[in-house]
Amino acid sequence: MAFERPDDSPAQRLVALRGEHRDLDAVIDRLQCDPRHDELMLKRLKKRKLALRDAIAQLESSLIPDEPA
């Protein structure tokens, strides 16, 4: 997971999470191209990528201001 400082704003954390997600996507793509890739490692990376996606969605949701109905 990206290094987190307690004084990071939600917007800074979102940028860091998106960057980590993008980097992880590139690593997964490279691993899948290698015929000798480690399946267990690939599964762990994909699971981490999904967790990042969920964290990004949750953070984005918290940044959207509530609108009255």
Per-residue pLDDT of the chain (69 residues; tens, 9 = 90+): 555 566 789 999 999 999 999 999 999 999 999 999 999 999 999 999 999 999 999 999 988 887 776
Residues 6+ apart with CB under 8 A from 31: 37, 38, 41, 42, 45
Q: Give the integer Cα–Cα distance in Å for 50 and 56.
A: 10
Which pLDDT does position 18 carry in this prediction? 97
Which residue do the tokens 């990071």 mark? 8
Quote the tokens at residue 59: 């953070």
- Predicted local distance difference test score (pLDDT) of residue 7: 74
Per-residue pLDDT, 4: 59
